[in-house]
Structure 1
Amino acid sequence: MSTGNILKSLRDATMMTQADLAEKVHVTRQAVSRWENDETIPGPDLLVTLSKVFGVSIDVILDSSEERYCECCGMPIEPSIMGINSNGELDPRYCKWCLDEGKFVYTDPDQMLDFLVTNLPQEGMSKDECRKFYQKHLLELPYWKSKLKKENA
């Protein structure tokens, strides 16, 4: 995805107009339009400002080749489906289905497992096999590792 498309996705996800974003980063609306149309890219100082406005790293804006995954469910993440934290900013660690306005939708691993087994069954696996597969997968994700560690402390 191009930097322009990423900026547009981030802007759309935060429900800002080009004028709103321009005002926040102290540029013209036309400058935002040129970025989104890939005519130019923001300079280093503006990339820092944009990363703060959107609550994402500069790597996200520049589309580093590293693929990101939700730390709660493991789904691949792109800017348009990032979760929203309690400050209303995008959180690149979680998808919008796991983190909604700073609140985690799934707080219990069994609740998450039930959702995954029901909605994302693995082809050729029984429900029990699928549940074991996802259980092993969830225990490797940072959100659940941290949560279970705190509960067992």
Structure 2
Amino acid sequence: MLLAPSELKEVFSCLDTSDTDYKEAPSLEDWKQVETLCTYLKPLFETANLLTAPTVLTTNTFFHEAWKIQLELGRAVGSEDPFISSLTKSMQEKFDKYWKICCFILAIAVVMDPRFKMKLVEFSFSKIYNEEATTYVKISLPCTFRPT
């Protein structure tokens, strides 16, 4: 939705000459915020399209997309741009509630898939939780699922 107007920003700057009711064109700072926002919203949009597609989703796909969203929201909250950081903070808080409930169940399903086993869980948790990843990996899977 924001991508279409950003492609036409030159038109917005000239619109006041042809439309007397048009009073204020977006500033360069506004356009910069739109571009930055599009950068952070693109992964969410792509994931939403994938998850709502009429195809059959596996738990592995869902886990993969969910951890990518968790990672992107974490990056956005840590952004140096105060606009992006404040905007995505509440999104991350809401997603964290969901993620804490389902990440371990999804992780177990991923481990059961012979293509991924523990590698995908360890990789994704290391990206999300950094130093605390091993703690979350240990919590997520009982000892019987961990390779020795």
TM-score tier by shorter-chain length is 0.3 to 0.5
Q: Which has the larger radius of gyration?
A: 2
Q: Considering fraction of residues, name the structure with more strand.
A: 1
Q: Considering fraction of residues, name the structure with more helix.
A: 2
**TM-score computed with the length of structure 2 as normaliser:** 0.33
**TM-score computed with the length of structure 1 as normaliser:** 0.33
